[in-house]
Amino acid sequence: MISFEQALNIIRHRIQDSKITPAIESVSLTSAGGRVLAEDLAADRDYPPFHRSTRDGFAVKSADVSKTPAALRVIGLARAGEPYSGSVAGSFAVEIMTGAPLPDGSDAVVMAEYTRELDPQTVDASVNRQVEVLRAVAPWENVVRRGSEAAAGGIVIARGRRLGPGEIGLAASVGKPELQVFRRPTVAILPTGDEVIAVDQQPAWFQVRNSNALALSAQVEAAGGAPRLCAIAPDEKAALRGLIEEGLNCDLLLLSGGISVGKYDFVAEVLAELGAEIYFQGVAIRPGKPLAFGRVRDKFFFGLPGNPVSTFVTFELFARAALELLGGVPYQPAVFLKARLAKPVRQKTGLMVFMPAHVAPRCESSTAAADADCLTDPMVELVGWQGSGDLAGLANANCFLVIPPRQTDLAAGDWVDVLPKSWRW
C-alpha cells in the first residue's frame, strides 16, 4: 500500500511519460466555456490601448498642481467613446469620465471630490470655466497606463488553461471569435456488481440503484471529460470482460466496484487476462483504500471502490488529475485550505482520512468585530454520516476534513486542512 502523495506522483509521471496528446479542434468562443486552450493567446494590441482614467474628475499635468490650491481653466471634456482631441498645456484641465482616454499632455487625474468649481464672477471674464484643485496628485495617479495590463504580442492566456468566464472575456477582448481547444477525453464508466440495478428500476431489499455511474458522469463532465456510460457488469467473467473491452475504446476507463479480493470480485482477474499493467493497488487513505491504477492496451484505467463516498473521493483525488492530464491541462496538485475545527476529532487509522464536512463562517457574538473575525476564521465541522456508503452525508458536505496519518487527536479550535468538494473550479 502506497501513500497519497506516492499515488499522485505515479499517476502524474505515467501519464506524462506516455506522451499522449489529445486532438485539437476549433470551437466558437460562445461554446468554449470549460474547454482547454490548445494555443497561446496573444494580445493583438496594447491593453489598455491608451492611458485610461480610473476616476471621474479632471485630467491635469501633475506638475501644475504640485502646490494647492491651484486654479485651472477647463478646456474640454473626455468620456469613454469620445476622447478629447486637443492637448493639455499650461494651467489647463480637461474634465474626464472613468474609462476615458487621458488627453495628450496630461499625466494624472484629480478626483472630482478634490476639486471645486470657481464662481464665474470671481474669475477673468474671458475664461468660461475654472476649477480649483484642492489636493496634489502624483504622476499617473488615478490612471491605468497604456500596455500595463498586456503588451501587444504578449501571451495573455497560455496553452493548457481551462477557459472560465474570465478567460472567455479576455479572449473576446483580444478579438478571438474562435479558439483552438483540446478535444474532450472520452471516459468509459463501468459499474459492476449483481446488486446494482438501473436508476429507473424498483430495487429489491438487497439491491442498490446505479448511483455511482451517474455521480461519476457528473464528475467527469465537471473535469472536462466526455462520459460514456457502459452497461452494468454482472459478477461473471465473460460478460465483465466484454464490457471492459468495450470501455477500452475510450481514452480512460473507470471501473466502479469489484476491485477488492472477494470471491466474486473479478475485475483484477479479467484485467490480468487482458495483459494489464497495474501501477498500484491500495492507497493509504480512507475512504478509498482499494483504489487501483494501471494501463491495458495503451489505455489508462482506474479501479474505483464500490462504496459511493469512496468512489467520489477517489475520483476527485486521483482520476480527475489523470483526466485533466489526458485533456491537455498541466498537472495541478490538490489545494488544501485551512479552517478551525468546530468540535474535537479523534482518528487512529494510520491512514490519510477524508471525512465529509461543512465549512462556513461562524460568530459567537453579533458585534462588528466578531463579524470581521468570521471572514478570517472559517469553522469546519463534520456532517452526520454513516461511512463510505452514505450519499446523504456526502450531499450535505461542501468539503472534506483532511486528517494526516500521524495526527490522531484534534481539539476544537485547531487549524486543520480542508479540501473543497470542487476545488479545481
pLDDT the model gives residue 182: 97
The better pLDDT of the pair 389, 254 is held by: 254
**Are 216 and 72 spatial neighbours (Cβ–Cβ below 8 Å)?**
no
Q: If pLDDT is split at 50, 70 and 90, which confidence band does 259 have?
A: low
pLDDT above 60: residue 125 = no
Return the SS3 of 269: helix
pLDDT digits 0-9 by tens, 143-176: 999 999 999 999 999 999 999 999 999 999 999 9
Question: Grid coordinates representing 209?
Answer: 440503484
What is the average pLDDT score of the chain? 90
Mean pLDDT is lowest, of 31-40, 48-57, 127-136, 221-230, for 127-136
pLDDT the model gives residue 370: 52
pLDDT above 90: residue 15 = yes
- pTM across the whole model: 0.85
Question: Grid coordinates representing 312?
Answer: 467520489
Residues 6+ apart with CB under 8 A from 273: 241
Please report, for residues 64, 76, 135, 202, 295, the alpha-carbon distance to residue 92 in angstroms, rounded to integers and kept in the order given.
9, 9, 16, 82, 73
pLDDT the model gives residue 106: 96
pLDDT the model gives residue 264: 43
* Count of beta carbons in the 10 Å neighbourhood of residue 73: 17
pLDDT the model gives residue 152: 97
pLDDT digits 0-9 by tens, 308-326: 889 999 999 999 999 999 9
pLDDT the model gives residue 214: 94
One-letter amino acid at 163 equals L
Cα angle at 145 between 144 and 151, to 5 degrees?
115
Return the SS3 of 194: coil
Question: Grid coordinates representing 328?
Answer: 491537455
pLDDT the model gives residue 372: 54
